[in-house]
Amino acid sequence: MIKLPEEIKSFDQQIANFKATRWYIADMATEIHAARLMIHHAAELKNAGKPFVKEAAMAKLFASEMAMRACNKAIQIFGGYGYLMDYPVERYWRDCKLTEIGEGTSEVQRLVISREVLKEIA
C-alpha cells in the first residue's frame, strides 16, 4: 500500500484533502476491485473445467491497463515526488508497464478476446 507523504502539501493543505485526489483514489480502488473480480471469475472457470481463455485474456488486459492507470494517477498525486526513487511509486510504474508487455501484450490479449467472441457468435 502506498502511503501519501505528509510533507506533500499544496496551498497549505495535505494533498489527500483535495477532492481531485480523493476522486483519483476512489477510481483506483474501484478499478482494482473490478480487476480482482475478473481474475477470480477466470480462475473459477478454469477450476471448474470450463472454457476460460476469453475471460483470462479479458482479466489480464483489464488488470494490466488498470494498473498503469492507477500508477499514472498515483504519480499525479505525488507530483515530482512520484519520480523519485525515495518513494515506491516510480518502481510500481515500471513494474506495471511490464504487465502490459509481458506474457502477451495488450494488443495480443485483444486479438485473443476478439477471436473468442467471434467464435461464440458464429
Q: Which residues are catalytic?
A: 103
Q: How far apart are CA 72 and CA 90, in angstroms?
A: 10
- Within the chain, strands assigned E span 9-10, 13-14
Q: In terms of Cα–Cα distance, which of 105, 106, 77 is closest to 90?
A: 77
Grid cell in block for residue 26: 476512489
